[in-house]
Structure 1
Amino acid sequence: MTPRTATSDPTDGRLLRGLRSREMVLEKALQLASVDGLEGLSINRLAGALGTAKSSVHGLFGSKQGLQLAVIEATRKILIDLVMRPSRTAAAGLPRLEALGEAWMAYLDADTFTGGCLLSSASLEMDGRPGPVRDAVAQALQEWLAVLAHNVSAAVGDGDLASDTDPEQLAFELNAIGMSANWHYQLYGNRKAFERGRAGWRHLLIGYQP
């Protein structure tokens, strides 16, 4: 008898289709959440937008909270793929901080999400709502702040930034520029917000140079 290979197992095909289905549903969920907020996102709302049975969406995520957490994790991965990973081609320290600022503004300017940066809006929406969803948002943004602070420290070590620079303080200020650019564009619809964001990022880094 010829042994069955892994690729001939019918469960492999079902698993692949299931993963693709989940990715497609999650993509719709991301866009809905960026407009309606994480609290406005529900199994029923998502199923209606997809034109599918509520049970189908429930089977993928299990609960509203499960859906919210999946959306946050997917958003985190998008930030890594579109902002953090491209900037790794620049040397650690000041060059990477400059690259991170450019990549972040490009990410915001590209309208990746219908309603603007989901992590930015979620941080405001969930800041007063204790629980796993808030914790997931906080953890994702803490990871971002840590990347900024790490590269500030590297820039200080290289002598590109003043020796008395507080890495966490500068990370705080850089993050505020991106958050402000996203807020300004979403509220006023003026893409000059990203030009101002780029300029603000550059000027801030120059101000910390020895």
Structure 2
Amino acid sequence: MSKGKQTRDNILNVAFKLASENGLESLTIGELAKQCGMSKSGLFAHFNAKENLQAAVVEYANEIFIQRVIVPARADKCTCYKEKITALLNHWLNWNQSFQGSCMFLDAWREKCVNQTPAQQVLKQAIESWLSYLQIQIGKGIENKEFRSDLDPIQATFELYGLYLSAHLYHSMYGQDESTKRFWLGVERLILDWHGSD
């Protein structure tokens, strides 16, 4: 790995931690340079603009998301799609809680949901990719005759995401234990409905 790549990765790692604590919009070239022990001009040379920095941080966050959520679920010894989806949801919820109940993707989306900044474009692609991945797993469960044949993977994913958003809110209001309990009660009911009477 080149020295430039190492420096850039270190910057993104520090930026990711700062954004996780204070939100993506809080990132500035000046504060990040201070935290990295660099000059503003030295850090600026890697990204050229705050918007490019934010987009790079979202890309970096998505790579970490894949490593923390999708890769571990693939490594779990799941014998059916119910187990695989449950594993994905477990790692997904842990991802949320690792930011003290404040998912960086949700926060970043809320901060500038109207403007199509570079960060917003990368963020949209990351979320769409994750939604698509969930839909594919549910679709495979249908093909495998594990879930009922008339189940709509898009609607099922929509409802799962609704539970995730609710867990995000409840974590902030009532704490992790209550949030986790309500999340899994909702997931159990959803998956029971997916099986139906087929």
SS for the counterpart of 2:92 is helix
Which deviates more, 167-176 or 128-137? 128-137
Distance 2:12 2:126 in 1: 18
2:175 partner letter = N
Residue 96 of structure 1 pairs with residue 84 of structure 2: yes
SS for the counterpart of 1:178 is helix
Matching residue of 1:9: none
Matching residue of 1:158: 144
Per the normalisation by structure 1, the TM-score is: 0.82
> Residues 13-24 of structure 1 correspond to what in structure 2 (within 5 A)?
15=2, 17-24=3-10
CA contact (8 A) 2:148 2:195 kept: yes
> Residues 133-172 of structure 1 correspond to what in structure 2 (within 5 A)?
133-172=119-158
Residue 29 of structure 1 pairs with residue 29 of structure 2: no
Matching residue of 1:188: 173
How well do the aligned residues superpose, as a CA RMSD in angstroms? 2.1
2:173 partner letter = Y
SS for the counterpart of 1:182 is helix
Query: Rg: which structure is higher?
Result: 1
SS for the counterpart of 1:162 is coil
Matching residue of 2:191: 205
Change in 2 beyond 3 A, CA 1:91/1:65: farther
1:107 partner letter = W
CA contact (8 A) 2:56 2:119 kept: no
For structure 1, list consecutive stretches of 5 or more residues without a partner in the other structure.
1-11
For structure 2, list consecutive stretches of 5 or more residues without a partner in the other structure.
none
Q: 2:106 aligns with which of 114, 120, 138?
A: 120
Count of aligned pairs between the two proteins: 193
Distance 1:92 1:76 in 2: 26
* CA shift digits 1:125-167 (9 cap, x unpaired): 2321223221111110000000110011111112221211111
How far apart are 1:189 and its partner, in Å? 6.2
CA contact (8 A) 1:162 1:208 kept: yes
